[in-house]
A and B are shown apart, each in its own frame.
Chain A
């Protein structure tokens, strides 16, 4: 089943294309957030990357190849869009909240959101990918430009750190 979508989309099946779009929208969003892109740049990133995927539908073997290609292409595009003076949205998950916000957030999400903000950037990025997208370790590695072998250990270490922060709160 997993390998059929790209083949169907290549033949013009719009429903199959939509299913691919739904599957990978979270991956593009995670990459845009990792680069702190603002709303307009995120929209530009998505438009560019999807159009480039459409033009090379014939060149990608299967759905597994789509994820890796999207991750690398979106990362390059995000790096290009993240201009030194460009409008950047602060890393929402990293913005230090005021004391009132902390209390409110604790009520809304337990301690998790607050704890995520207390994590190092690298952890926050990996957690975001695990949370927002049904991604493989290979796709996370491609999106963050880190060795694939480090994704599993990073996940384990960051979840352990997050658990400690939650328990200490």
Chain B
């Protein structure tokens, strides 16, 4: 073992005492796996405009998620009202995922949907399409 490696062992021991790894990091990791939706197409957050930037009132935000051939737009008001659109349009089943709250609604044939009582915190939407496939939006903190 080199002298650097011996010194690093002592550094490791010191950090383990000074800043021990909190259990919440690994437990959050294990819990996250339960939210897996196998085979879902991911729409990643590509734009996030808050009220000030977008010129909206009342703490509203505009979010855009994009994936291969799919786009989801959301307008979320400060009161938790959501107006959204799925493109390409489909009469999809919409599920809001959140660690404590679960909301569902349906999108109409033009892909529009509305939700109320959108919770604060980490959320993700799952769209169940008529052909049996699904789309998930990336987890974002509202």
Q: Hey, which bits of chain A sit against chain B, CB under 8 A?
A: 9, 12, 14, 17-18, 20-22, 24-26, 28-29, 33, 39, 42-44, 46-48, 50-59, 92-93, 108-110, 112-113, 116, 127-128, 130-132, 156, 159, 162-163
Contact = CB atoms under 8 A, between A and B. Distances in A.
Interface string B1-42: 001100110111111111101101110111111011110101
Size class of the contact patch on chain B: 35 or more
B124 interface: yes
Query: B7, B13, B36 — which one has the most chain A CB atoms within 10 A of its CB?
Result: B36
B97 to A, nearest CB: 9
Given A29-B25, A159-B4, A55 B15 contact: no
Given A14-B33, A55-B40, A127-B15, 8 more contacts: A25-B21, A55-B36, A55-B37, A56-B42, A112-B10, A113-B14, A159-B7, A163-B7
B141 to A, nearest CB: 7
B20 to A, nearest CB: 9
Contacts of B64: none
B72 interface: no
Given A54-B35, A55-B139, A46 B24 contact: yes
Contacts of B25: 25, 28-29, 42-43, 46
